[in-house]
């Protein structure tokens, strides 16, 4: 049974005049985001693009309550982040956010099964509940037969599929992916992207930071950042063709 995440009221993510500055040399601060206003609707599939240093990863970290704005407001699933303690932000992440990172961020001493289940363990879910959900997710990402392998025994594509499964273990309504295919070959990247599209098909809000225009072309909307500001936002559209079809066309 597919959960309909789009039934909740209000946007999934909202940035209201958000600034994020980091301390630089002396009294000079570096502005990573400079007055960003953006709204991402529930169940939307969005790509965030822009040159290196444009603020893409900063925007994603704020969207996932991994960081806090210098000023302005970020709302996640309708909840304002400003003023929350680190513990409260962690609770928000557990309730609402699944993360997929470019570098996988798997724990090297744990098996694929243990890596996928770790967020549920930290959330103090029942062992019987965790076991069944882990098996379901490993089957979903095509790694049921690799469940007892450690990250060093898996390919890059397999590690990223484990990371996608881990992102889904607590059934979040929002999935954030930071260059999820950046360290992968084309075939592995396509497999991981297909998993993220499946998350969207299930009704989740999916936001992908990417340098790859071919990946952005498969989303419903692209937000372009430059120098910490929104340079352009596309209007929502239907999802594009599969990546394999785009590659065939571009090389034909």
- Say yes or no to pLDDT of 215 above 60: yes
What's the confidence (pLDDT) of residue 242? 47
Chain segment 169-206, per-residue pLDDT in tens: 999 999 999 999 998 999 999 999 999 999 999 999 99
- Per-residue pLDDT tens over the stretch 65-75: 999 999 999 99
Is residue 2 a part of any domain in this protein?
no
pLDDT value of position 30: 86
Output 10 or 177, whichever has higher pLDDT: 177
pLDDT surpasses 60 at 7: no
Within-domain flag for 126: yes
**Residue 3 covered by a domain:** no
In the predicted structure, residue 6 carries a pLDDT above the cut 50: no
Burial class (CB in 10 A: 0-12, 13-18, 19+), 48: buried
Number of folded domains that form the chain: 1
Note whether residue 97 is domain-resident: yes
> In this structure, is residue 72 part of a structural domain?
yes
What CATH number does the domain containing 68 carry?
3.40.50.300
- Domain of residue 201, residue span: 10-251
CA pair distance 40, 52, nearest whole angstrom: 22
**In-domain check, residue 212:** yes
Residue 166 lies in a domain: yes
Q: pTM higher than 0.85 for the full model?
A: yes
Q: Is residue 37 part of a domain?
A: yes
């Amino acid at each position: 049974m597919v959960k309909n995440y789009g039934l909740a009221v209000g946007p999934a993510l909202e940035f209201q005049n958000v600034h994020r500055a980091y301390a630089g040399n002396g009294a000079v601060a570096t502005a990573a985001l400079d007055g960003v206003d953006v709204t991402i609707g529930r169940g939307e599939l969005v790509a965030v693009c822009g040159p290196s240093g444009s603020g893409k990863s900063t925007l994603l970290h704020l969207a996932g309550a991994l960081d806090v704005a210098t000023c302005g407001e970020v709302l996640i699933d309708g909840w304002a982040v400003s003023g929350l303690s680190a513990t409260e932000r962690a609770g928000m992440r557990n309730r609402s956010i699944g993360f997929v990172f470019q570098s996988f961020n798997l724990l090297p001493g744990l098996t694929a099964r243990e890596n996928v289940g770790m967020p549920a363990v930290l959330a103090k879910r029942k062992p019987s509940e965790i076991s069944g959900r882990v098996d379901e997710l490993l089957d979903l990402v095509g790694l049921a037969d690799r469940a007892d392998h450690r990250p060093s025994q898996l390919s890059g594509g397999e590690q990223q599929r484990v990371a996608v499964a881990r992102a889904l273990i607590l059934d979040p309504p929002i999935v954030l992916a930071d260059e999820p295919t950046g360290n992968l070959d084309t075939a592995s990247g396509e497999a991981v992207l297909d998993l993220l599209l499946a998350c969207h098909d299930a009704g989740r809000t999916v936001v992908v930071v990417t340098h790859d225009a071919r990946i952005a072309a498969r989303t419903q909307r692209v937000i372009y950042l430059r120098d910490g500001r929104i340079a352009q936002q596309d209007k929502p559209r239907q999802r594009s063709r599969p990546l394999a079809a785009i590659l065939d066309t571009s090389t034909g």
